[in-house]
């Protein structure tokens, strides 16, 4: 079905950008639909068919039934009951991103957390069963790190290394895990040291998802005191481009990926004193 819909677009000599603009979608949304990276909702399917002039009732119903029959639940679907729709959507985007960039001012990024760290964060904020689901969710998200085709760039403020969330034993496990993950060829871990002083843009933690090979196909997650703020519309795309420039500045000011492990190791040694 996806091939037929793509062929319908090409027959009209429409680019993906043409269609995305006409439907007020992001380019990445249409790209992920046509490539099969995300499911196609019935609403979006009907919008595409109408835009391509496919209005014959029998043909439309055939495509609708094909979409229903071929719909496979994603791993993040099981978390819909305990998370907001916005966050569940973010999980799908994060899973589909080809490049992930994150600056974290306060905490170890979720993709780099060990279970001991995550449990210390969520305990007391929810009942034990929900807390364990959050631990499981972190583990599910971390599976993308195992794909060598996906790139990850993390910048941690040095304070993250000293803000002890767990007991000493758990903190030691967490720091060692950072060292281990930093050795992966598709993962870059940098620490922004205190000696770097003030760097413009370091006020808030944020995450940038590059959703295709196009460098400006970005989704921004900006952490706020009252909850994460997601930017995935046209205005958000402009803001995401601004934040990737901020990320590059932070990257330049941080210790290099080669220098960072030594600082983490020194922090580990002080735990043993």
Residue with token string 């500045």:
249
Helix (H, G, I), strand (E, B) or coil at 113: coil
The whole-model pTM stands at 0.77
Question: Does the domain formed by 75-272 have CATH 2.40.30?
Answer: no
Q: How confident is the model over 63-89, as pLDDT tens digits?
A: 888 877 766 677 888 888 888 888 888
What is the domain partition of the chain in residue ranges?
2-70, 75-272
CA distance 26 to 129: 37
Label residues 27-43 b or e (16+ Cβ within 10 Å = b). bbbbbbbbeeebbbeee
Distance between CA atoms of residues 260 and 179, nearest Å: 9
Please tell me whether residue 257 adopts helix, strand or coil conformation: coil
Phi, psi of 264 (to 5 degrees): -65, -40
**In the chain, what is the straight-line distance between the N-terminal and C-terminal CA atoms, in Å?**
63
Query: What architecture (CATH level 2) is domain 2-70?
Result: Orthogonal Bundle (1.10)
Look at phi and psi of residue 193 and say left if phi exceeds 0, alpha if psi is from -120 to 50, else beta: beta
Q: Across-strand partners of 218? A: 210
Tens-of-pLDDT digits for all 273 residues of the chain?
Answer: 778 888 889 999 999 889 989 998 877 778 778 877 666 778 888 989 999 999 888 888 888 888 777 666 778 888 888 888 888 888 888 888 889 999 999 999 999 999 999 999 888 666 778 888 889 999 999 999 998 889 999 999 999 999 989 999 999 999 999 999 999 999 999 999 999 999 988 999 999 998 777 777 788 999 887 778 888 665 667 888 899 999 999 999 999 999 999 999 999 999 876
């Amino acid at each position: 079905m996806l091939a037929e819909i793509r062929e319908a677009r090409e027959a009209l000599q429409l680019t993906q950008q043409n269609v995305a603009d006409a439907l007020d979608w992001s380019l990445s949304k249409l790209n992920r639909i046509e490539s099969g990276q995300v499911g196609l909702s019935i609403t979006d399917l009907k919008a595409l068919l109408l835009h391509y002039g496919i209005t014959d009732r029998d043909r439309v119903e055939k495509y609708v039934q094909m979409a229903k029959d071929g719909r496979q639940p994603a791993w993040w679907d099981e978390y819909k009951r305990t998370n907001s729709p916005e966050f569940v959507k973010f999980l799908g985007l994060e899973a589909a991103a080809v490049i992930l960039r994150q600056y974290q001012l306060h905490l170890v990024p979720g993709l780099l957390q060990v279970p001991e760290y995550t449990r210390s964060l969520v305990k007391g904020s929810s009942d034990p069963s929900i807390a364990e689901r959050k631990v499981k969710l972190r583990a599910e998200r971390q599976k993308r790190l195992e794909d060598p085709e996906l790139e990850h760039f993390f910048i941690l403020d040095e304070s993250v290394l000293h803000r002890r969330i767990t007991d000493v034993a758990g903190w030691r496990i967490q720091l060692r895990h950072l060292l281990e993950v930093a050795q992966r060829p598709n993962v870059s871990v940098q620490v922004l040291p205190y000696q770097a002083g003030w760097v413009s843009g370091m006020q808030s933690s944020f995450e940038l998802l590059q959703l295709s090979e196009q460098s400006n196909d970005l989704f921004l997650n900006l952490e706020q005191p009252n909850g994460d703020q997601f930017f995935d519309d046209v205005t958000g795309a402009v803001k995401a481009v601004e934040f990737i420039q901020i990320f590059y500045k932070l990257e330049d000011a941080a210790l290099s990926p080669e220098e960072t492990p030594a600082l983490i190791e020194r922090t580990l040694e002080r735990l043993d004193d």
